[in-house]
Amino acid sequence: MSQDRTMLILTSAQNFSWFSMTEIIPEIEKLWEEIAEKNNYKVLKINVDKASVKEIIIKGIKSNLILVTCFNLKISWALKILRTKMEIHAPLKFYVHGMSTVGLWPLVFWEWDTIWNKNDSFIVSCQRDVKILKDKFKNINVEYLPFSAPENISIINRKDQFKRRSFYYIGRISEQKNLHTLLYAFSKHLIQEKSSLLTIFGREDELGSPNMGIPSINYKSYLENLSQELGIEKSISFKGFVPREEIKNLIPEGKKVFISSSLHSDENFGMAVLQALRFGHKAIISNWGGYADFKEHYRYQVSLVDVEHGDFGPYINTKQLITEMNLIDLKEIDPDRTTFFERGHIANRYKLKLFEENKETCDFSFAREIVNIRKEFSSDIMSSKIFNDYRDELYHYFSKKYSSSSKKEFSAKEEDLFPWVKVEEPRVLINDPHKGILELEFEVGSKKEKLQRLVELGCALSD
């Protein structure tokens, strides 16, 4: 069948500062090249980093469908010209990435609300992004397409029995990744399993929590000092950034388990998790954002750890995290075998949706509200601050959509306060590297009630 329709793929390498994006963006391009072929579209692909706005517009005029792999100001300018000046309304499909959990405000800031039509669609990589966008943007189209992985990974290091647990984390060294809680949980795990190891791969991102305006604290040094304070420095290793293909040879021998207690605001997938699962490794991960989707397809390999909520925002159920680490069986099990995340299978499953032509723009009022909130915080064009801090109710809306918990009752003992929590009656000082500094005063209440309150703030190990 002849290819008489054209799909324009607009892509960029500007976000390649994060290693996962060097895998995600090329995979998106290859996926849509396969989708285009199956649906008889000719593909025009433009790396906007190397093209002029004029070139993008010329190619856009000739296109029947435009696929945007990521946000880029040059793309933004070109699309606005196509829609407003040239009156070209070929349907747009746009990968949202981390914008769902900030209410799409960057798109309104750059005036996409004036060009986004009801026949355009947002593409998200996890089901919880769908929940947020469908809840707050009633008349937009949202499509769920998980990121894909190459199909040439085979299961390695097969043994019947291992002598120890070899936990490892791959990702940014970021306060939002909640690695300090992971170190604390690992120190408790070592009481029962002294031979276990924890290896951390990744470079420091030095971002802190930009949506809160909370700066970074030299987090890697903090983690190294914390490991010494906890007495686990001989069982933990910080490897820094290592290319993905070299990592598997640097994970110490043992029952290999990927582990992450991340509460990152844009944890919308998890390429490192996917690679670990495809190698046949176990994964203990927070029930947060895109992580949750892995359980559906890797039922036996994935353990999800509840994320609870308190006045100070979400916190991982550290007791459950420790329990899951302790329960790792040293015997080898047959891994789940799924093709769900393989590019060819995603392309075959996907039914190309071209929504009915409609030049009406969509309702972005929720995003406009957030833009106005941002203006109140700062006039700096580079500012990302849209929340007061982790107690902000608007942030709690997003974090509750991104998490899941069993909602059990918890209690605690005084010796189970986290190292970043200090009690000097009646004051409590919380200096959480993730959430910042919070000072409380408990003027009334029994000791048990005060400890319960600290548990609910995510400041103590639950009993």
pTM: 0.94
Backbone dihedral angles phi then psi of residue 403, each to the nearest 5 degrees: -130, 170
DSSP character string of 291-338:
GHHHHHH-TTTEEEE-EEEETTEEEE-HHHHHHHHHT--SB--PPP--
Q: Cα–Cα distance between 205 and 267 in angstroms, integer?
A: 15
Among 98, 100, 91, smallest CA distance to 118 is for: 91
Residue 157's pLDDT band (cuts 50, 70, 90)? low
In order of their start, the domains of the chain are: 5-150+344-372 (3.40.50), 165-337 (3.40.50.2000)
What's the mean per-residue pLDDT of the chain?
Answer: 91
Q: Cα–Cα distance between 194 and 181 in angstroms, integer?
A: 19
Residues 6+ apart with CB under 8 A from 87: none
Tens of pLDDT, residue by residue over 120-133, are 999 999 999 999 99
Q: How large is the average pLDDT for residues 254-277?
A: 96
Q: Cα–Cα distance between 179 and 263 in angstroms, integer?
A: 10
Residues 6+ apart with CB under 8 A from 178: 261, 262, 263, 264, 286, 316, 434
Q: Cα–Cα distance between 164 and 161 in angstroms, integer?
A: 9
Tens of pLDDT, residue by residue over 79-106, are 999 999 999 889 999 999 999 999 999 9
- Please tell me the least confidently modeled range out of 53-57, 113-117, 405-409: 405-409
Contact yes or no for 356/176 (Cβ under 8 A):
no
463 pLDDT more than 70 = no
Q: Which residues pair with 288 in a beta bridge?
A: 403
Token pair listed for 238: 């910080």
35 pLDDT more than 90 = yes
Task: Label the pairing between strands 165-170 and 197-201.
Answer: parallel
Q: Cα–Cα distance between 176 and 366 in angstroms, integer?
A: 25
pLDDT at 346: 95
